[in-house]
Amino acid sequence: MNKSIVEVKQVLTAYDRAKYPFMKEAAEHVRGIGIEFNELEQDSEFYRPFLDRAEKRVENALRDVSSYAKIKPANEMSDGEKEIETFSFPLAVMLTVGTEDSFIKSRFALAEAKRASALLKGEEKETLLHVANNFDWNVEDFGLEPYVFAVSFPVFLKTATGFHDKRWKLVNQKMVDGKVYLTKQKASRLLEEEVRKYVESRLDTKIKYLPPSIMARVMRLRQLAAEKQEQIKREEMPDRVVMEAFPTCIKGVYERVSAGRPASHIGRFALTSFMLNIGMSEEDVFKFFRSVSDFNERMTRYQVEHIGGTRGSGTKYTPPNCSTLRTHGICISPEPECNGAVNPLVCYKRKLEKLPEESPNEEK
């Protein structure tokens, strides 16, 4: 018989806090010890390792989200390292907020979420339940393999609302008496989304003042973010593609995906088909989508190849017409070149024609 879980795990260990610093117990631990802002301002030797690790967290989020989850095993991490790992999280939040950069904020939230998801996949069910309860899920435990627990369908819908893969539709879930049964993989993915939203909420604030020593770190992160954004444009766009000529509807979806934010199914279809039709190869498009928050390598490659016509019916799809994009709220600010256009490809061609022949924004 199913039973509600009230207390599934004792107080977090120091290693648990290091792995999951977003947990309430971890936050209480940090508050209980306290961080002296005056000492941060002086860049004291005591706090320097904490700030160094905090800066590294944000730097790693900008450089490579996919490898962000790496953490030493418990038996290889000293007590001091566990404390640094835990305390560095709120300091990394401070640095990220200080940048006032939406790209950095999105990448940091995504990296922290993916780290949590990757770590949770290796945990026992007890820890999964404990983390789920951190987000006030009313979870139920039962011995029904391969499911680890069940959540109410409103919780499932609220958390999975940004997922556009058909595998996440409620109709495709095992549901009994209003409860959605979750495997460890699905539970970890849903909790990843909870962590991302939580971190984003922590970043949605402003800091009036940061001391010069902290601002030096903030400026380094801003510079790295600018370099990373330039790298994304340089590496993910072939030479013959001109970003400046992207219609605003397509550019909006492109910027969301670049920042690691979820985009609607039709938005991603429009972006994928658009890029394939203006000269990008399927491999170029596949590499671009590595930055999307619910990136799945196998599924993404299949979808790109299907839209490109190398799988399935063999039909290469064009982007949805402008009227369809307006209906779905993707076209919200038409440009002069859109007048009379029926498809964003028409707008792109018109904008290309208006660009100088030797456009400084077009890579050769």
- What pLDDT is recorded for position 223? 96
pLDDT in tens, the chain (364 residues): 333 433 444 568 999 999 999 999 999 998 888 776 666 766 677 888 999 999 999 999 998 776 677 788 889 999 999 999 999 999 999 999 999 999 899 999 999 999 999 999 899 888 898 999 899 897 877 667 889 889 999 999 999 887 767 788 888 999 988 899 999 999 999 999 999 999 999 999 999 888 888 999 999 999 999 988 877 666 554 456 788 899 999 999 998 888 777 788 899 999 999 999 988 888 888 888 865 555 677 888 888 998 998 887 778 899 999 989 988 889 888 888 888 888 999 999 888 888 775 444 444 3
- CB burial of 66-86 (b: ≥16 within 10 Å; e: otherwise) equals eebbebeeeeebeeebbbbbb
The whole-model pTM stands at 0.68
The owner of tokens 């949605």 is: 204
Residues 180-216: tens digit of each pLDDT: 999 999 999 999 999 999 999 999 999 988 888 899 9
Locate 76 and state its tokens: 């290889």
* Closest residue by Cα to residue 192 from 112, 113, 107: 113
**304 CB-contact burial (10 Å; exposed 0-12 / middle 13-18 / buried 19+):** buried
Kind of pairing between the strands at 3-4 and 147-152: unpaired
Kind of pairing between the strands at 140-141 and 3-4: antiparallel
- What distance lies between CA 221 and its chain's CA centroid? 18
Cα(152)–Cα(1) distance, rounded to whole angstroms? 16
* Closest residue by Cα to residue 27 from 89, 80, 74, 113: 89
Which residues pair with residue 74 across a beta bridge? none
Which residues pair with residue 182 across a beta bridge? 149
Cα(50)–Cα(36) distance, rounded to whole angstroms? 12
Locate 105 and state its tokens: 């904020």
**140 CB-contact burial (10 Å; exposed 0-12 / middle 13-18 / buried 19+):** middle
Cα(81)–Cα(71) distance, rounded to whole angstroms? 11
Locate 68 and state its tokens: 């962000």
Which residues pair with residue 179 across a beta bridge? 152, 176
| Residue range(s) occupied by CATH 1.20.930 in the chain | 3-221
Residues 279-327: tens digit of each pLDDT: 888 888 888 886 555 567 788 888 899 899 888 777 889 999 998 998 8
Locate 172 and state its tokens: 């495709």
Locate 37 and state its tokens: 């802002």
**CATH 1.20.930 for domain 3-221:** yes
Cα(236)–Cα(299) distance, rounded to whole angstroms? 19
Q: Side-chain half-sphere of 363: how many Cα atoms within 13 Å?
A: 12
